[in-house]
Amino acid sequence: MFRAFTIALPIVDRQRSYAFYQETLGLEPVGAPDADGVPEPLQFRLDANTMLMLVPSGGFGWVLGGRELAAPGTSEMLLSLTLDSAEEVVAAAERMRGAGGEIVLAPAQQEWGFTGVVTDPDGHAWQLINIHH
């Protein structure tokens, strides 16, 4: 069984990504700041065993053995953040847009919940959702 789970995403600008995830989404960075004021590696704790790691594109390609990376804005994965209310979904979408993200699916009521999709500044899609129980 695994001990920890890390989601790694390629990024273009460490400072911009750090601000987006730390200030806009309120994620907890891991590690002391490097010379540029951003932890190296750039990681955020999602829960006790789950981390989000943001890796500059060159390093990301190196880790993948030189494999060509998908173009920015191309996504085969949808990351989701579950929120407590429709109002929180709308507010998070607006904060993310204000910090350089793009709303690709405006928050709206669906049969199964209230949801919207916003990208981060590097084009990674995040679904913001409040599920009916």
Tens of pLDDT, residues 9-57: 999 999 999 999 999 999 999 999 999 999 999 999 999 999 999 999 8
- Can you give the residue ranges of every domain in the chain? 5-63, 79-131
pLDDT-derived band at 67 (thresholds 50, 70, 90) equals confident
| C-alpha to C-alpha distance for 31 and 91, rounded to whole angstroms | 29
**Reported pTM:** 0.81
Q: Which CATH class is domain 79-131?
A: alpha beta
Judge if 5-63 and 79-131 fold alike in CATH terms. Answer: yes
What is the chain's percent helix, strand, coil content, to nearest 5?
25, 40, 40
Domain 5-63 has CATH 3.10.180.10: yes
Edge-to-edge order in the sheet of strand 5-11: 5-11, 50-56, 42-47, 28-30
Inter-residue contact 53 to 43 (CB < 8 Å) = yes
